[in-house]
Amino acid sequence: MHSKKEKTVLKAFIGSILILLIPMTSFGQEAKIHSHNDYLHKAPFWEAYANEAASIEADVILQGNTLYVAHEKESIKEGQTLTTLYLDPMLKAKNLGLGTLKPTLLLVDIKTEAYSTLDKVVEAIKPYGALWEDQENPFVKIVISGNRPKVEDYPKYPFPIFFDYQSIQDTSNLPLEKIELFSLSFKNFSQWNGKGRLVDEDLTKIKSVLDLVHGLGKPFRFWATPDSKTSWKALSELGVDFINTDHPYAANAYLSNLNDRYYQTPNLRKIYKPTFERDGISGPVDNVILLIGDGNGLAQISAAMYGNGNQLTLTQLKNIGLIKTQAADDFTTDSAAAGTALATGNKVKNRSVGALPDGSPAKNLPEILSSHGFVTGIVTTDNLTGATPGAFYAHRTERDMTEEIASDLAKSPLNLFIGGGKNDFTRFEKDETINLSQAGFHLTSSLDALAKSSSEKVGFFASEDELPKVMNGRQGYLRDATKASLQFLESKNKPFFLMVEGAYIDSGGHINDSETVIEEGIDFDQAIAEALRFADQNGRTLVIITADHETGGITLPQGNLNDRRVELEFTTEDHTAIMVPIFAYGPQAGLFRGIYENTAVFTKINEVLSPYLK
C-alpha cells in the first residue's frame, strides 16, 4: 500500500507521463485501437492507455511460478511480468483516476501450455478485483488468446476471464457469453500491403467474415495487418472493430480526427467557363485583376476542386506557372513578406508590410500605377489592416503595428477598399475613419451603394471586427465585393488595378480544418469567376490568380469523387515553402508561364502595362 504522500507524488508523475503521451487533440472514434505486442513499447501499458487503446496485448510465458511478459523464453527479462507491466499499472490508473478509465481489454497471449498458464493467470489476478468490481461496466477484462483451453472449457473460468476466438469454420453452439471477440490473420484474406486500395475480391472476403461475426453480436480483429494510415482507415471504414497496430500514438492521432479531416461539400457551386477569345493574345492590357488566395497551394486548390464536383472556374485556365515564395530573411515566408513581394517586387523580411529590409518604404503597384492615370482598389475577407492587403498601401516594418498600418490607408492613392475590421480604425486614439473621409473616401453603407457611387474614392467596412468564415454566414461576400468593385472601377473610364484576397483559406490551414480550407477555396473561386466574366466582357483585362504561400503542408491521401468527399492530411499548422501555382487569363497571359520568384509577378505586371508607364 502507498501512503497518501506517495499516492500524490505517484499521481503527479504518472499524470506528467500521460500529458506527454496524449495527443493535443483527441476526439472520439468508431474503430478501437489494439496495441499489438504492447510490451515491446518504451512505456508498456501507459503509452497504449494514454492513446486510448481499447485492447492491449501482452505475450505471456509461464516459467517456474512467474508469468513473464515476452515473446519467447530467450527474450525474458527479469522483473517484466504480467503483474509489474500491466496489472499494477492498471490498478494505479484506476485508483488514481488517471486517463479516461474507458473499458479496456488486456489480451493475454499465452505462449506456454494453456491450462497451467491460465490457472496461474487466474491466481495472479485475484488481488486486482477493483479493476472489474463493476461487472456491468468493468474497467478491465482479461481476454485469453494464443494457447487456449478447449472451447467447451471456456465457461469453467470465472469473471473477468474471456476468450479470443480464432475460427469461423464452426460457429454453432459456441459459448458466446465467454467469447469477447473474434480474431483472424489478415493474410488468410488478402496480401494487401497497406498501400493503394484493397482489390474487390479481398473486400468481398473481408465483408463476409465481418458480417458473420457481427451477426453473432461480437467484435472482430485482424492480426498481421499492414500497419499504415491507409490500412487503419480502410479497415476502420470496413467495420473492423479493433485496429491492430504497433504504433498506438500515431494510430490514435490519425483515426481520432479522421472525421474532421474527411470533408464532404454540402452544395455544389456553379463554375464559369471562360470563352478564351482573348486569352494569350499579344493585344493591349488596360486592366489587371490580381487575386491572391492566402495559403492556397496546389493541395488546397485540388481539395476545393474535388469538393465542388471535380471542377472549379480556376481549373479551366490554360496559362499556368509556379512561383517561389522565400522571404529575404527566411526560407519560409509569412503573408507580410509574400504580400509585399507581390505588391512591390521586393524581397523583404518576414513581418514587414511594404517596408524594405532597411525600413524604408517599398513603392507598391497602386502607388506606381496611380501616377500613370490608373484607378486602383483592394478587396479582402481579412481585416483591412491584415498583412496581405496592407502590403498594397502601407509601409511598416512590423505587421502588428495595426494602428500605424490603419493610418497609412488615408495616405494611399487607392480609389477603393473593401474589407473587415473597422475597429482597427477606431479603437486607437485617432479615429482613422475621419482621416479617410478627409482624404476623399466616401464610406458607403453597402456594396450596392459602392458599386453605384460617383465618388472618386470609396470604401466599405464589411464588419466591425473580423468577418465570419463562409460556413458561419459569409456566403457570397467575396464574389459580390469583387463584382461591385469592378462595376465601380469600370465606371471611371480609366485603366485600373484591383487586388482581391481570399484570406481564410490560410486560416483553415493554420487550424488544420478541412471544411474551412475547402469551403473558403470554393468561395474564392466564385470571386475568380466574376473576374474572368468581366475579362471576357471587357477584352482588355488580364486576370492573375496566385497565392502568397502554402499553409498546412496539406496532402490528399483519399477521397471519393462521386460524393465529393476529400480527406486532407496536415503536416504543420504553419506556412510551408512549397512553390504555389499562378494562373493567368486574358491578353499576354502566356507571360506568366514558367517557374520564377514571387517578385517577378510585380515585374511582369509592369511589363504588361508598360505602354502606360512610359
What CA–CA distances, in Å, run from 45 to 68, 75, 115, 358, 432?
15, 19, 25, 56, 61
The one-letter amino acid code at 570 reads F
Q: Is 36 one of the annotated binding-site residues?
A: no
Q: Is 212 helix (H, G, I), strand (E, B) or coil?
A: helix
* Residue 471 near residue 516 (C-beta atoms within 8 A): yes
Any residues with CB less than 8 A from the CB of 485 and at least 6 apart, and which? 377, 379, 416, 418, 450, 451, 498, 500
What CA–CA distances, in Å, run from 317 to 50, 242, 532?
49, 46, 10
Q: Is 501 one of the annotated binding-site residues?
A: yes
Helix (H) or strand (E) holding 417: strand 416-420
Largest CA distance in the chain: 98
Distance of alpha carbon 234 from alpha carbon 229, whole angstroms: 8
Q: Which three cell numbers stand for residue 155?
A: 465457461
Q: Is 112 one of the annotated binding-site residues?
A: no
Q: If you search the block for the grid coordinates 483559406, which residue do you land on?
A: 505
Q: Is 388 one of the annotated binding-site residues?
A: yes
Q: What is the 3-state secondary structure (H, E, C) of 100-159?
A: CCCCEEEEEEECCCHHHHHHHHHHHCHHHHHHHCCCCCCCEEEEEEECCCCHHHHHHCCC
Q: Within 13 Å of residue 492, how many CA atoms lie on the same side as its CB?
A: 25
Q: Out of 35, 231, 236, 335, which one is annotated catalytic?
A: 335
C-alpha gyration radius of the chain: 32
Distance of alpha carbon 588 from alpha carbon 608, whole angstroms: 7
Q: Is 510 one of the annotated binding-site residues?
A: yes
Q: Is 506 one of the annotated binding-site residues?
A: yes
Burial code (b: 16+ CB inside 10 Å, e: under 16) for 546-569 equals bbbbbbbbbebebbeeeebbbbbb
Q: Is 395 one of the annotated binding-site residues?
A: no
* Residue 130 near residue 73 (C-beta atoms within 8 A): no
The one-letter amino acid code at 571 reads T
Any residues with CB less than 8 A from the CB of 307 and at least 6 apart, and which? 263, 264, 265, 518, 521, 522, 564, 566
Q: Is 483 helix (H, G, I), strand (E, B) or coil?
A: helix
Distance of alpha carbon 311 from alpha carbon 305, whole angstroms: 5
Q: Within 13 Å of residue 206, how many CA atoms lie on the same side as its CB?
A: 25
**Whether 335 is catalytic:** yes
Active site amino acids: 335
Known binding residues for Mg(2+) are: 294, 388, 501
Known binding residues are: 294, 388, 501, 506, 510, 548-549
Known binding residues for Zn(2+) are: 294, 506, 510, 548-549
